Each structure stands twice: as C-alpha cells, then as structure tokens.
C-alpha cells in the first residue's frame, strides 16, 4: 500500500534527520524509515516520528523507528517546535521532549541564530562505565563500555581513524549484538583524543542499519561521560566530527557521572510529502 508521508528534514551537525509529521501505524515505522533513508528516496541517516505526548508537561514526543534514543533527533524536534511557535531572532525557548529510549523528559533549550537553531539538551546518564578487553582477529583491544538502559556505546581510543579501523569497528558492532540482545542501539566510537575527534558508527539491529554518522549527539554525550569518568571532575569539550563540532558538558561527583549536556546547531533544510509503499 502506498502511503503519503508528511515530513521535515533537518541537519543537526550534518547528521541528516527526517521527522515524520503524519500519522502512521507503529508497525509500518520500520519500513517507512528504511525507504525514506535510502539514497534513491528522501535520504537521511535516521528517521523519527512525531507523536502526541503522553505527559502533560511535555511539548512533544519523539519515537525513533528502531525505538532507540537519539540526541540529535531530540534537538531537531525541539528546533522544529520552536520554529512552529515563531521563535524570534536571539529568542530562547525552553522545552521538554518525550523520547523513545529515555525514561525521563529531555530538557531542551533552543536559541534562534539567523537561519539556525542553537540547541542544548540534557542527555540520559549511563548506568555504568567500565574498561573492557575486546578480542579481534587474535589480538586484544582495550576499550571502555558506556552502558545505558537501552543502548550501548564502546569507546575506542585510536591514534588515527583509518579504513582498516573502521572495518574492524563494523565487525565489532555486529558481534556485540549477541552479547547484548535487548539493546536497541550499538555504537562504536573511534576517538582521537589528541585532536578531540570522533568518528561515530551507529548500528541499530532492529533496522539492520549501520551508519558512519557525520555528527552523533548521543555519541558525543558518551565521550563526555567517558572523559568526566576518567578525570573525576567537570569537563567541557568541543568534539570534532566529520560534519562539524558538538560541545559536551559533563560532571562527575560522588563516584559517578551525574550530569551530561550536549550543544549543537540544527538547520531546517526541507519539508514536504514523500510517497512510500509498505
């Protein structure tokens, strides 16, 4: 059946994001997302669906196609809501977003800057951060796992991101699915600490989607949590990525990471109707 899909396309640090405004059956979300993400369609790295919030204190509800949490998509929805409400130049809007993969409302601050929206959001906190030894091709790699309620990130510090390392990261992401069968998202974060550069690989098993993202909000948050955990103090860092920089703020106190925020820029680039057969 062909469906007409109303959407808006946004660019949070070039992590191209489609938000679907029209209403569809939940069972169709995966097929709609996969087809709209394709190169021969609207083309993006991820798709979220805008729904009516259940919490009366929420300004919007974001449901990702794979039921994962996505920081950049939350910033995108916050920017879109502020845009719809007519935020003025240099105006500031404070919003709360319900989001898949997050147990609590996501607090968002949006500021209009010319054609862009500067967004800062509070991110879900990891349940644990711990060192991990990973076996790959008969060698052992030292890494850190950053584990959340519904998703997992692996931080691998590297001297330089190259194609061999990226291939190894893809193999690793798929292999972790067996050890974490309930997780909605597996991220492998290749991090060059010297120049504060991140190459984020995001794998969503439910969609069989694996993407080297140009900018990853949740990955940036995990790097911030990791840095705060290692230093045992507050941190503020600009994490460079292929699509640009995202700033992260982290706080470590009383033996755990107690606060993480990210700040990035969102631009609305298109909106319209797409036609999808499901």
CA quadruple 136, 140, 145, 149: dihedral positive or negative?
positive
Contacts of residue 123, Cβ cutoff 8 Å, sequence gap at least 6: 71, 106, 217, 218, 221, 260, 261, 262
Residue from 70, 74, 108, 119 carrying the catalytic annotation: 70
Q: Tokens 């916050």 identify what position?
A: 78
> Which letter, b or e, does each residue of 103-121 get, where b requires 16 or more Cβ atoms within 10 Å of its Cβ?
eebbbbbbbbeeeebbbbb
- Kindly state the tokens that stand for 23: 């209403």
Beta bridge partners of 140: 135
Beta bridge partners of 273: 6
Residue from 74, 108, 119, 216 carrying the catalytic annotation: 216
Active site residue 70: yes
Which residues are the active-site residues? 70, 216
């Amino acid at each position: 059946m062909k469906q007409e899909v109303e959407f808006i396309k946004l660019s949070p640090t070039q992590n191209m994001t489609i938000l679907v405004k029209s209403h569809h059956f939940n069972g169709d979300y995966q097929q709609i997302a996969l087809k709209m993400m394709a190169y021969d369609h609207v083309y993006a790295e991820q798709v979220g669906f805008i729904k009516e919030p259940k919490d009366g204190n929420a300004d919007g509800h974001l449901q990702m196609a794979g039921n994962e949490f996505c920081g950049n998509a939350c910033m995108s929805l916050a920017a879109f809501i502020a845009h719809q409400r007519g935020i003025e130049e240099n105006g500031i809007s404070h919003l709360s977003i319900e989001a898949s993969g997050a147990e609590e409302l996501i607090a968002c601050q949006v500021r209009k800057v010319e054609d862009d929206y500067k967004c800062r959001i509070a991110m879900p906190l990891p349940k644990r951060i711990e060192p991990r030894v990973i076996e790959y091709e008969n060698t052992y790699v030292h890494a850190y796992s950053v584990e959340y309620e519904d998703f997992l990130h692996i931080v691998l510090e590297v001297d330089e991101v190259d194609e061999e390392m990226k291939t190894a990261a893809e193999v690793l992401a798929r292999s972790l699915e067996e050890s974490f069968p309930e997780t909605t998202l597996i991220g492998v974060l290749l991090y060059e600490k010297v120049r504060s550069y991140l190459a984020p690989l995001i794998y969503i098993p439910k969609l069989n989607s694996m993407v080297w993202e140009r900018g990853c909000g949740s990955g940036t948050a995990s790097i911030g949590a990791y840095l705060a955990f290692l230093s045992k103090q507050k941190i503020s860092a600009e994490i460079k990525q292929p699509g640009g920089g995202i700033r992260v703020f982290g706080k470590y106190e009383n033996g755990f990471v107690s606060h993480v925020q990210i700040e990035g820029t969102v631009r609305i680039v298109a909106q319209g109707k797409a036609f999808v057969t499901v």
